[in-house]
Amino acid sequence: MKQLNLLFINVFFVLLRGCATLLDRRATLLDRRAIFLISCATLLIGCAGLSPIERDSEVKFSLRAKLGIRTENEGFSANIRWVQYQNRYEITLWGPLGQGRTEIVGLDGQIRISDAKGHLIEGGNAEEMMKDRLGWSMPLDVLQFWVQGRPAADHPTDASVHDDQGRLIRLSQLNWNIKFDWRDGIFTPNFPHKLVAERETSKITLIIKESQRISS
């Protein structure tokens, strides 16, 4: 009887070790699956943050930046995404966590401004409309050139200074004084890292986080 009990105990421990091994294998398999799924999710999230733009022959550039506006009486900051086409631009502004989204679309001298509440206005003077609707404005027609580190093509340049690589670092145009800070980065090739434009009591600061140039 004692030998039978010992045999039963031995068999019990053998089965227990077998179950433990099987559970370990299943746990390892689940861990591997979990690691694979987490890796895939991380990759997708990373790719989503790159904000690629379509390869449209009319697209000139796209950029994502931090925008700061300061006037005599107030200041404003937001994230900005700008897609510039041959004859139009599409600008999206938003605050933290996507709050307060505003879209600005310009085409052939006309501009349309819409906000997150569904309010929409249209007209022909971009700076006046922005000031009336948003409380501040930007010279969008020339800013599209400045963000690329070049003077606006259709306006005279009062003064300009270049660095030893031929890049524009100071510019005076349309009574605006613009400073450019160039930093080489994989996400902002051939674009200035920072632009500061000042005129009287107005100051515009753009820190470019990501940019793509499709055509010149």
CATH topology of domain 60-91+133-213: outer membrane lipoprotein receptor (LolB), chain A (2.50.20)
The whole-angstrom separation of Cα 144 and Cα 62 is: 10
Q: Does position 10 have pLDDT exceeding 60, yes or no?
A: no
The DSSP letter of residue 125 is -
- Residue boundaries of the structural domains of the chain: 1-50, 60-91+133-213
Give residue 204's pLDDT.
97
Whole-angstrom distance, CA of residue 125 vs CA of residue 113? 12
The set of long-range contacts for 87-90, using a CB threshold of 8 Å and a minimum separation of 24, is: 87/58, 89/140, 89/144
Q: Is 38 exposed, middle or buried (0-12, 13-18, 19+ CB in 10 A)?
A: exposed
**Between 96 and 177, where is the model more confident?**
177
- Per this entry, what is the length of the chain? 216
Query: What pLDDT is stored for residue 13 in this prediction?
Result: 40
**Strands 102-107 vs 88-94: parallel, antiparallel or unpaired:** antiparallel
Residue in the block written with tokens 């799924």: 37
Is residue 186 within 8 Å of residue 209, measured between CB atoms?
no
* Predicted confidence (pLDDT) per residue in 116-163, tens digit: 888 899 998 888 999 888 888 999 999 999 999 999 988 999 999 999
Q: Read off the pLDDT of each residue in 4-11 and give the average, rounded to a whole number.
A: 41
Longest distance between any two alpha carbons in the chain, whole Å = 109
Using a pLDDT cut of 90, give the percent of the chain over it: 49
The token pair at 88 is: 């139009």
Q: Can you give the pLDDT at residue 86?
A: 86
> Which pLDDT score, from 0 to 100, does residue 61 have?
93
- The first and second tokens of residue 101, run together, are 């989204």
> How far apart, in Å, are the Cα atoms of 167 and each of 148, 163, 199, 204?
10, 5, 22, 20
Cβ atoms of 212 and 188 within 8 Å: the answer is: no
Sheet with 102-107: strands ordered across:
120-123, 110-115, 102-107, 88-94, 75-85, 59-70, 202-213, 194-199, 176-181, 168-173, 159-162
Mean pLDDT, residues 54-72: 82
